[in-house]
Chain A
Amino acid sequence: DIVLTQSPATLSLSPGERATLSCRASQSVSSYLAWYQQKPDQPPRLLIYDASNRATGIPARFSGSGSGTDFTLTIGSLEPEDFAVYYCQQRSTWPRTFGQGTKLEIK
Chain B
Amino acid sequence: EVQLLESGGGLVQPGGSLRLSCAASGFTFSTFAMNWVRQAPGKGLEWVSTVSGSGGRTYYADSVKGRFTISRDNSKNTLFLQMNSLTAEDTAVYYCAKDFAVPGIFDYWGQGTLSTVSS
**Which positions in A face B, CB cutoff 8 Å?**
1, 32, 34, 36, 38, 42-46, 49-50, 55-56, 87, 89, 91, 94-101
Determine whether B116 belongs to the interface, using a CB cutoff of 8 Å to chain A. no
Determine if B107 and A55 form an interchain contact, defined as CB atoms under 8 angstroms apart: yes
CB distance from A70 to the nearest CB of B (A): 20
The CA of A36 and the CA of B35, in the complex, are separated in Å by: 16
The answer to whether B104 touches A46, judged by C-beta atoms less than 8 angstroms apart, is: no
Determine, out of B10-18, B39-47, B66-74, B78-86, the stretch whose residues face the partner at the interface: B39-47
Contact A95 B61 (CB under 8 A): yes
**Which of B59, B105, B109, B111 has a CB less than 8 Å from the CB of A95?**
B59
Q: Are B109 and A97 neighbours in the complex by a CB distance under 8 Å? A: no
- Complex CA distance for A42 and B110, rounded to whole angstroms: 9
Task: Give the CA-CA distance A95 to B47 in the complex, in Å.
Answer: 8
Contact A34 B47 (CB under 8 A): no
Chain A residues positioned under 8 Å from B37 (CB to CB): 44
Question: Closest Cβ of chain A: how far from B23's Cβ, in Å?
Answer: 15
